[in-house]
Structure 1
């Protein structure tokens, strides 16, 4: 569980790394399934023919266990609040990145969307509002060791504080994905960049408003990572005007971004 200093780091920077959040044997079990589904051979790099392979939703039992370890649940309580989040049903999609000289084509800076848009099948119509309705954390689960050469997710440190003032005027409806991305990228351009590196089994717990991006893979071994949302419990969406003042660190950060 994040301690007081880590919690303040989360509020200030927009993320915290939880080392060894998933046991190594469970990581290996999940990665074996993922390798099979890529259609590539882990021992033959000639079969690694594309810069990225997106694997579908993973809710099998090993993935559910990986998403719900005691360390993760304690961290969710610390950052979101007890009773305010849903246990994970799985780990969603995996963008598996292979070493390649090709551009991946999906490495633009952005903020995740969580509200269905006019066309639910078209993610570009999805939206985000100042309450981050539908998402209380962005999470990055490392299922392989990731160095700076292995396409780690790029994170603009503190960028989550730049996003609330952009979203507040849009009210409950919020802004569509591309409009928010354009404004958030400009507003956070001054922020330093950190890289989501670490060992297999580490998990980055990120504020839902953090501005982040993929990047090309210049290393030697494929990178396996899941990036699921943590969902709010039913009727327990984020609230930035609580009568009792019992704000979670996620909510404190939104309020700080708004100057409250």
Structure 2
């Protein structure tokens, strides 16, 4: 597990295969297919992406709370410092489509509301990652290079920590930080591919982006946050820093 932590600090993410059983992936796909209003017939795929919200049915909760994931949460965030997911949401279901998606810009997911909580573009991110312990990518379908895998900029979380630091607790709004994503263009790009049952656990500052689907089977993935049970802290008197916190500290120490 020490290797997992060091890889996470360096790269900003770890890939966990077989994080949840294939039977749960199949159960989730059935529910998601129903709610898209589409069928396996490509003639029904009217848009490049359909977004679905929170799901509290048992297959979703079970997929998010397997022993292997809980162990990884403890390792990356700290035992007792994260809250179990009692739902699984934010499903951008991507379809093979002639139209380009309009949501494929490089960005960091926001974690706490601005003045208007209903305006997600004004939600914020600060150097303490207020409200979010991890970004998670749950693959409920097999995802190859052609199946609209999420693009990841390796190590970009370190650049983002340095970008956010001068703005303190207020942080930056989602769009303001996205405009600064060009500062991470030097980072190596990898794709979040893998068989159904794979989960990517990402540092909350990791820069990532969607892309168009060039394959044949719609991609079903959830990208929920893991919520922090206690604040992410970059100054601990006892020095008991989690890998999430260590990454931020190491980034700021290199300024």
- TM-score tier after normalising by the smaller chain length: over 0.9
Q: CA deviation at 1:36?
A: 0.7
Aligned to 2:226: 230
Aligned to 2:250: 256
Aligned to 2:121: 124
Question: What per-residue deviation string (whole Å, max 9, x for no partner) do you get for residues 197-236 of structure 1?
Answer: 0000100000000000000000011000000000011xx1
Is residue 217 of structure 1 aligned with residue 217 of structure 2? no
Equivalent positions of 1:1-260 (< 5 A) are 3-42=1-40, 44-183=41-180, 185-233=181-229, 236-259=230-253
In the alignment, the residues of structure 2 paired with residue 176 and residue 115 of structure 1 have an alpha-carbon distance, to the nearest angstrom, of 9
Q: CA deviation at 1:6?
A: 2.1
SS in 2 for 1:100: coil
In the alignment, the residues of structure 2 paired with residue 126 and residue 171 of structure 1 have an alpha-carbon distance, to the nearest angstrom, of 15
Q: CA deviation at 1:101?
A: 1.6
In the alignment, the residues of structure 2 paired with residue 51 and residue 176 of structure 1 have an alpha-carbon distance, to the nearest angstrom, of 27
Q: Which runs of 5+ in 1 are unaligned?
A: none
Q: Normalization by structure 2: what TM-score?
A: 0.98
In the alignment, the residues of structure 2 paired with residue 247 and residue 227 of structure 1 have an alpha-carbon distance, to the nearest angstrom, of 25
Q: Which runs of 5+ in 2 are unaligned?
A: none
CA RMSD, aligned part only?
0.8
Question: What per-residue deviation string (whole Å, max 9, x for no partner) do you get for residues 169-210 of structure 1?
Answer: 111111111111111x12201001010000001000000000
Q: CA deviation at 1:90?
A: 1.1
Stretches (4+) displaced over 6 A: none
In the alignment, the residues of structure 1 paired with residue 108 and residue 177 of structure 2 have an alpha-carbon distance, to the nearest angstrom, of 7
SS in 1 for 2:54: strand
Q: Normalization by structure 1: what TM-score?
A: 0.96
